[in-house]
Amino acid sequence: MNTARLADIAAQAGVSEATVSRVLNGKPGVAAATRQTVLAALDVLGYERPTRLRQRSAGLIGLITPELSNPIFPALAQVIEQVLTRYGYTPVLCTQTPGGSTEDELVEMLVERGVTGIVFVSGLHADTTADTARYDKLQGQGVPFVMINGYSERISAPFISPDDRAAMWMAVRHLAGLGHERIGLAVGPSRFVPVLRKEEGFTAALGEVLGLSEEQSREFIQHSLFTVEGGHAAANVLLDKGCTAIVCGSDLMAFGAIRAARARGLTVPGDISVVGFDDSPLIAFADPPLTTIRQPVESMGAAAVNVLLEEIGGNPAQRGEFVFQPELVVRGSTGSVA
The burial class, CB within 10 Å (0-12 / 13-18 / 19+), for 317 is middle
Q: Please report, for the chain, how many H helices and E strands are present, in that order.
A: 12, 12
What pLDDT shows up at residue 1? 60
CATH domain 60-162+296-324 topology: Rossmann fold (3.40.50)
Q: According to the model, what pLDDT value does residue 77 have?
A: 95
Per DSSP, the three-state class of 90 is strand
Low-confidence ranges of the chain (pLDDT < 50): none
pLDDT at 223: 98
Under 8 Å between Cβ of 147 and 159: yes
Domain ranges of the chain: 3-53, 60-162+296-324, 164-294
Architecture label for domain 3-53: Orthogonal Bundle (1.10)
Domains 3-53 and 164-294 share a fold: no
**What distance in Å separates the CA atoms of residue 42 and residue 28, rounded to the nearest whole number?**
19
Asked if residue 63 lies in contact with residue 81, where contact means CB atoms within 8 angstroms, the answer is yes
- Residue 3: what pLDDT? 65
Cis check: omega of the bond before 66, within 30 degrees of 0? no
- The pLDDT, as a whole number, for residue 2 is 65
What is the side-by-side order of every strand in the sheet holding 183-187? 221-223, 183-187, 245-248, 273-278, 291-294, 327-329
Going through the chain in order, the beta strands assigned E by DSSP cover: 60-65, 90-95, 117-121, 145-148, 158-162, 183-187, 221-223, 245-248, 273-278, 291-294, 320-324, 327-329
The confidence score (pLDDT) of residue 4 equals 61
Tell me if 158 sits within 8 A of 309, measured CB to CB: no
Residue type at position 273:
S
Is there a contact between 62 and 115 (Cβ–Cβ < 8 Å)? yes
pLDDT at 52: 67
What DSSP string runs through 101-130?
--HHHHHHHHHHTT-SEEEEES-GGGBTTS
pLDDT of residue 56: 59
Output the DSSP codes for 237-273. Answer: HHHHTT-SEEEESSHHHHHHHHHHHHHTT--TTTT-E
Residue 292 phi/psi, 5-degree rounding, is: -155, 170
Give the pLDDT confidence score for residue 75 in this predicted structure: 93
Angstrom distance (rounded) from CA 275 to CA 328: 9
| CATH of the domain spanning 164-294 | 3.40.50.2300
pLDDT of residue 53: 66
The answer to whether residues 266 and 250 touch, using CB atoms and an 8 Å cutoff, is: no
Q: Which residues pair with 63 in a beta bridge?
A: 93, 119
Residue 44 confidence (pLDDT): 85
Provide the pLDDT for residue 50.
Answer: 76
